[in-house]
Structure 1
């Protein structure tokens, strides 16, 4: 698709996961492509549901298999416009899911330099703005 449109904006559907441990700490990944902390997630592949996208991305980026995924909300609008370092632009429509239980152990992949659980009141300052918006709008009852 990028060969056809270059860096022009594309509308992209995706999912992100709020993965919390038993201490209600939030899993973040230090992204290798942007040198910043963010939430596991990514773009939907053809034939996937958004929930399947969330589960796949969590596994690909962290090594964890999600237990039940709880739908939280959809993010869309002008604040979901993003320009990547290579100049590609997207307008995202992102489903946010919560995973309270996971199976497996954390595993660093090519997309991450570090994976770490953080208390919600002590998140790193270098957090992707989208992730900060999601966390700031969290209802404590969801956790």
Structure 2
């Protein structure tokens, strides 16, 4: 299903749903960040997605990271909360979702790079490489927030 992001856009459609979601900045021992190239828009993004009934938001973050990248992770912090009512995601099926996401900080504990049905590529990047990647503004903000103050020391 295709998706289009609108942030502070006058032509954005009105939201008709609100779904709790998690995204994850995964940082390895070398300080690299894990990103996936999304199949629906071709942009690089953090792993993440919608919370399911019966799970906590941190459990959602761990599940989505495993499903989308092949890695099991340990949550070690929170990068930020993202709830801009002027940031919506319009899907092909008519859903227009208002942003409601907690971005977690995590470290990999096991696994290996693997693409999913939602991605075309999954890679580790040095933080300096990220600036040149195609990325929607909301994801770039999360990465910038992490780099500006939430970058953990290597373990």
TM-score normalised by the shorter chain: which range applies?
Answer: 0.7 to 0.9
In the other structure, the counterpart of 2:3 is none
RMSD: 1.9
Uncovered stretches (5+) of structure 2, i.e. residues with no partner: 1-13
Number of paired residues? 137
> After TM superposition, where is structure 1 displaced by more than 6 Å over at least 4 residues in a row?
none
Q: What residue in structure 2 maps to residue 133 of structure 1? A: 141
1:31 partnered with 2:38: yes
Query: Is 1:61 the counterpart of 2:72 in the alignment?
Result: no
Residue of structure 1 in register with 2:151 after alignment:
142
Partner in structure 2 of residue 45 of structure 1: 52
Secondary structure of 1:131's counterpart equals helix
Q: Deviation per CA, 1:71-124, whole angstroms, max 9, x where unpaired?
A: 232110234322235543100210111112331111111111000111212214
Unaligned runs of at least 5 residues, structure 1: 1-6
Structure 1 25/85 Cα, relative in aligned 2: closer, same or farther at 3 Å?
Answer: farther
TM (norm. structure 2) is 0.79
1:94 is the counterpart of 2:101: yes
> Could you say what secondary structure the match of 1:134 adopts?
helix
SS in structure 1 at match of 2:28:
coil
